[in-house]
Amino acid sequence: MSRLFGTDGVRGLANRDITAELALDLAVAAARVLGEKGEFAGHRPSAVVGRDPRASGEFLAAATVAGLASAGVDVYDAGVLPTPAIAYLTADLNVDLGVMISASHNPMPDNGIKFFSRGGFKLPDATEDAIAGSLRADWQRPTGAAVGRAKTLPGGGERYVEHLLGAVPAPLDGLHVVLDAAHGAASEVGPEVFRRAGARVTVIGAEPDGLNINDGYGSTHLGHLRVMVAQVGADMGLAFDGDADRCLAVDASGQVVDGDQIMAILALDLKERGVLRGDTLVATVMSNLGMLQAMEREGVNVLQTSVGDRYVLEEMKSGDFSLGGEQSGHVIMLDHATTGDGVLTGLTLAARVASTGKSLADLAACMTRLPQFLLNVDGVDKNAVDSNETVQAAVVTVEQELAGTGRILLRKSGTEPVVRVMVEAATAQHAEDVAHRLAAVVRTELAL
């Protein structure tokens, strides 16, 4: 059986896969498992719950709060805030559990539930599996005064904004930035913190109505941002996703600056400031070969993990490293955050532009991206991609064809029912041709 939890919590179609009943049951099971592990020993347990603006988040958050309170946990309802804000508040409020209701960059009909342990870190796989195994189990529930109490958390957004302002390495005075909030969770706090950091801010995609999150705006739809940057003559543009744990950028000419380029810029910034611990950047196997080559030239070691920010974070914590992330723009700056934080990433990137006086395009030129093509193959058994002999033989054949001038990666998605086919090659056309050839083999061999 596949795990209930993916690489970023439990996610699916709201009110079909992710129901109010499931949210309540997961909340109860999480409280029970943590209690049995001794996490609540000696004190009355507490939690903070937040959500992105999706309409379904309203009933899912209510169900989560109800489940936690029924299990004897006092709950602070923080309302609409970015995922990294809930992670921060989990640590800042010193509560036992944080819960975020969001499907991040997914379309509006989807939603998800992710948990943070005390300190603001995502739960380990074993704890998530224990929660899944405890769903709907009989147990002795609290009664009377032992049931949890629920109340609204005032000022959660301001606490998060103050935290971000304390992490900005340089003022943004004189910088004109366009922000695209994806009609998501950073629609208020994103523009607020950039203005208070000194930037002139033009805002798009910041009118959430519960139905328009990620719809044509945000880090997965950069068209509006590119147009607006050119239209207002801004120095740069930044796009968050629905829950603002990601950030991608656009330079003054409208060229996209992806997560690999952002990580390269930030790695050199942190190294120059003497705070890139171990002179090491942690990335995933999806990172572009051009970024790896650039970091090698600059004396920065790159450690690569499986895809998923949780695996990047595990490597960062085990090696005591300060910077890691993914090509998607999910960047973790462990000195200031326990998870990917798109607003923090954007602030630090903008501060680098402001402090150096260089354009974002000049800074991004520290690496040259090898042409990369990515295909998603759906309608297949994604769990068989690593074991199918024909598929693996096709990969070996193409690797021999590329002969060290490119790279191939086939993997099952951790958040969607697809196999991802990624190819890097000397030319864009070659990468696309190879990707389509491999995708055809996957589609034929793994068809459901």
For 227-281, what is each residue's pLDDT tens digit?
Answer: 999 999 999 999 999 999 999 999 999 999 999 999 999 999 999 999 999 999 9
- What mean pLDDT is reported for the chain? 95
* Start-to-end C-alpha separation, the chain: 16
- pLDDT higher than 80, residue 5: yes
pLDDT tens for 10-34 read 999 999 999 999 999 999 999 999 9
Catalytic residue (choose from 46, 102, 104, 328) = 104
Mean pLDDT of 68-87: 98
Q: Please give the structure tokens belonging to residue 77.
A: 């309802």
- Residue 448 is predicted with a pLDDT of 84
Q: What is d(CA 278, CA 74) in angstroms, rounded to the nearest whole number?
A: 40
Contact between 280 and 268 under an 8 Å Cβ cutoff? The reply is no
**Which pLDDT band holds residue 389 (cuts at 50, 70, 90)?**
very high
Contacts of residue 34, Cβ cutoff 8 Å, sequence gap at least 6 = 40, 45, 96, 97, 117, 127
What share of the chain in percent tops pLDDT 70?
A: 99
Output the CA torsion sign for 220, 226, 229, 231.
negative
- Residue 1 is predicted with a pLDDT of 47
- pLDDT higher than 60, residue 293: yes
- Residue 235 is predicted with a pLDDT of 98
- Residue 366 is predicted with a pLDDT of 97
Lowest mean pLDDT, pick from 207-216, 347-356, 424-433: 424-433
* Burial class, 133, CB count within 10 angstroms (exposed 0-12 / middle 13-18 / buried 19+): exposed
Mean pLDDT of 342-363: 98
Tell the residue number behind the tokens 């380029």, with chain if given: 261
- Residue 415 is predicted with a pLDDT of 66
Tell the residue number behind the tokens 């300190």, with chain if given: 119
pLDDT tens for 400-429 read 888 877 889 998 887 677 999 999 998 999
Q: What is d(CA 396, CA 394) in angstroms, rounded to the nearest whole number?
A: 5
Q: Please give the structure tokens belonging to residue 126.
A: 């074993």
Q: Please give the structure tokens belonging to residue 419.
A: 């196999």
The question of whether 253 is a catalytic residue gets the answer no
Torsion of CA 360, 361, 362, 363, to 10 degrees: 50
Radius of gyration, alpha carbons of the chain: 22
- Residue 307 is predicted with a pLDDT of 83
- pLDDT higher than 80, residue 56: yes
Q: What is the pTM of this model?
A: 0.90
- pLDDT higher than 60, residue 75: yes
